[in-house]
Chain A
Amino acid sequence: MKLLRKLAEKLMESLLTLSGAVTTAAVVLIFAYLFREGLGVFSESPVESRVVLAVHGSNPVKQLNADVIRKMYDGQITNWKEAGGSDVEVVPFYQSDITKYFSDSALGPEFANLPQCIGQLIDSMPGIIAAFDTSYTPAKFAGHYVQTDQVSLISFLSGRNWYPTAKPAAQYGALPLLLGSLWVCIAAILIALPLGLAAAIYISEIAQPRVRRILKPMVELLAGIPSVVYGFFGLMVVVPAIQRIFNLEVGETGLAGSVLLAIMALPAIISVSEDALRSTPREMKEASLALGATQWQTIWRVVLPWSSSGIAAAAVLGIGRAVGETMAVLMVTGNAAVIPHSLLEPVRTLPATIAGELGEAAQGGTHSKALFALGCLLFLITLTFNLLVEYLVIRRRRAAGL
């Protein structure tokens, strides 16, 4: 009987230990799965799957990057000289354009002659760049294939163009999204920090207990409102207001996102900095008051310096929350993947891009892998912020001798 009980105790203890490890396991799993999919993008070609690019035999160009290819198909590059070739006009061709060059009868029943036609076309036009499915590869043609640069870490991080659905070659430059996130978050924290800090000081140092009992649940309520509801409110109220105030064509701007993120970051900032303010030793406050300082002088000269690292932790935590916030931002920022020049333009953030595009990206394709790579980036950014908060909190505890 006693043995059985001991056994049960041991079993329970190991079960509890196991659950203690569950968050660590979750973080490791998230890390592993995210990076397994995300890093896959760096060995991929930006060209659509099973599509090849070919040029005329006389064309000296053997390698192109995705940017040049997109510009050729967009008509921004019209001469091969700009791509390192000879002085010939670029003729972009996509396999679905074949009906412009050949009649239905020439293409044969069920496009049986399509590969031959593509071959003929390539050989007849010196300036052509042709994109076609590998299954339509002509049996013989005098042209040659063009290689494309793979997606690299550098092009991913520093690329200024995010055109994930461009055909035939997509571009995955995350810089506009990174900058979009950065701008929106910095503006948000600039709005939220003064408000949040003021509220924290008021709640912890000045307010009567009765007022505090009303304010605290209000802050909790603010934290509990789902982010889609914030997004909806933003869409209905903040966006039209910004449009009217700044006289813009569209109100869906980075500023709208910042305002919402600021409201959403407030509860975290208030509660963490309130904790920090509250941890000021009473003796220190009393000593200051005994020297004849007013309550405000005590707050300004004693309480705030004492809790500065806790307030810093609150700010960092607020930024971390804002960087990862998805739905509200997705709904109000307009989602234009261009490098923003002001907060009054539509911007697109990292999380909004993931949420907005993953549904359309083919599973396991380059686009979806690129979105996972964005996820990795986001994960690393928020992880850094979290560890910074931990560091600030631990340093604070040490300094306080706790």
Chain B
Amino acid sequence: MNAPAKQVQLSELFKAASARKRRQQRIAFALLRGLTVIVALLLLIIVGYITVKGLPSLSWEFLTGSPKNGMTEGGIFPAIVGTLCLAAGSMIFAFPVGVMAGIYLSEYVSNGPIKQFIRIMTNNLAGVPSVVFGLFGMSLFVNGLDFGSSILAGSLTLAIMVLPVIIRTTEEALKAVDPSHRMASYALGASRWQTTRRVVLPQAMPGILTGFVLAVGRVSGETAPILFTAAAYFLTRLPESIFDQVMALPYHLYVLATSGTDIEKSQPAAFGTAMVLILLVLMMNLLTSLLRNRLNRKAGIK
């Protein structure tokens, strides 16, 4: 007599419990979704705000002219040139060394304490605050080696800072290469270096280039490391040698925003400079995703 009633009760209970579970899940997922939307909105607000305020400042004159009237008018050409110099200079040092270190980590050294140690040191270097790189660069390159505040000193400082980025992406790119290709190369009698150069490197090239692009983006946006090693407050002429000081986009924005001669009046120029920096980042990100797509397509065809 009692059995069916009990069964009904149990199934009611079960239904209630599963309804509660579903409700909990709905609430939790809504919360997570909401917080994620906030994160995405933050990015959109920052990029949108700078774009809306900065885009009107952009013009051919702004990009190719020198700052005038206490940096309230004119353009940012010297800063663009300076940032290009610093990016090129630091890449000349950092890219070959970083790629070689990446090759060593992925192809030459076997898993063990040495690899572990190098990896920890690379991560430590990546975690050093940018202003500490500035102190170090000033102490070693500017004063110690007597390069003065110059493109050379700034580039070397930035190069050391950006090494971990290049090493990591290179290593990742090399690791992604199918091991069977290496085996096939060895089976044909190729040496380790021949295998690396002819088989592994060509396949990993898009990935390595991704690292290059990331590094250029990082270097172009850094201020603290060049504050005391390369950056000039204001220059009208362009650098002539690697021992010259240069203006740089991020430092220029800092100056315009905090210590220009007339901060109110130089605001349009500041927004314009910020816009250029954002465009630079967007361009670099677009480039990396293009490279990545190519890499994925290649992997898909195989």
Contact = CB atoms under 8 A, between A and B. Distances in A.
Interface of A: 5, 8-9, 12-13, 15-17, 19-24, 26-27, 29-30, 33-34, 36-37, 194-196, 198-199, 201-203, 206-207, 215, 217-222, 224-233, 235-237, 263, 266, 270, 294-297, 299-300, 317, 320-321, 323-327, 331, 351, 354-355, 358-359, 363, 371-372, 375, 378-379, 382-383, 385-387, 389-390, 394
A307 B220 CA distance: 35
Given A33-B139, A294-B24, A355-B224, A20 B109 contact: yes
Given A217-B285, A228-B277, A327 B132 contact: no
Interface of B: 21-22, 24-25, 28-29, 31-33, 35-36, 38-40, 42-43, 46-47, 49-50, 53, 97-98, 100-101, 103-105, 108-109, 116-118, 120-125, 127-136, 138-140, 143-144, 160, 163-164, 167, 191-193, 217-218, 220-224, 227-228, 250-251, 253-254, 257-258, 270, 274, 277-278, 281-282, 284-285, 288-289
A226 B222 contact: yes
Contact of B284 (A203, A224, A300, A378): A224
B296 to A, nearest CB: 12
Contacts of A235: 257-258
Given A23-B122, A29-B136, A34-B139, A326 B101 contact: no
B28 A23 contact: no
B104 A224 contact: no
25 contacts: A13-B193, A16-B104, A20-B118, A23-B118, A23-B124, A27-B121, A27-B124, A27-B128, A30-B160, A37-B139, A198-B35, A201-B32, A225-B221, A228-B253, A229-B277, A231-B257, A233-B50, A300-B28, A359-B227, A372-B139, A375-B132, A379-B132, A382-B128, A387-B124, A394-B116
A297 B16 CA distance: 16
Given A27-B125, A355-B227, 4 more contacts: A24-B118, A199-B36, A297-B21, A326-B130
Contact of A23 (B39, B47, B121): B121
Contacts of A23: 101, 118, 121-122, 124-125, 163-164, 167
B27 to A, nearest CB: 9
A327 B121 CA distance: 25
Contacts of B116: 394
B257 A232 contact: yes
B85 to A, nearest CB: 17
Nearest to A211: B36
B221 A229 contact: yes
Contacts of A196: 39
B50 A29 contact: no
Contacts of A194: 35
Q: Is the interface of B mostly helix, strand, loop or mixed?
A: helix
B274 A229 contact: yes
A385 B124 CA distance: 9
Q: Is the interface of A mostly helix, strand, loop or mixed?
A: helix
Contacts of B49: 233, 236-237
B47 A221 contact: yes
Contacts of A201: 32
Given A224-B281, A371-B135, A390 B253 contact: no
Contacts of A351: 129, 131-132, 224
B101 A22 contact: yes
Nearest to B218: A224
A385 B127 contact: yes
A20 B129 contact: no
Contacts of A324: 127-132
A222 B132 contact: no
A30 B104 contact: no
Given A26-B163, A226-B250, A375 B43 contact: no
Contacts of B143: 363
B281 A225 contact: yes
Given A232-B257, A320-B127, A9 B193 contact: yes
Contacts of A325: 129-130
Contacts of B278: 225, 229
Contact of A202 (B32, B224, B277, B288): B32
Given A203-B36, A354-B131, A379-B128, A20 B25 contact: no
Contacts of A227: 130, 221-224, 250
Contact of A296 (B24, B38, B218, B228): B24
A217 B21 contact: no
A16 B103 contact: yes
A145 B254 CA distance: 45
A199 B277 contact: no
B100 A378 contact: no
Contacts of A218: 39-40, 43
B260 to A, nearest CB: 12
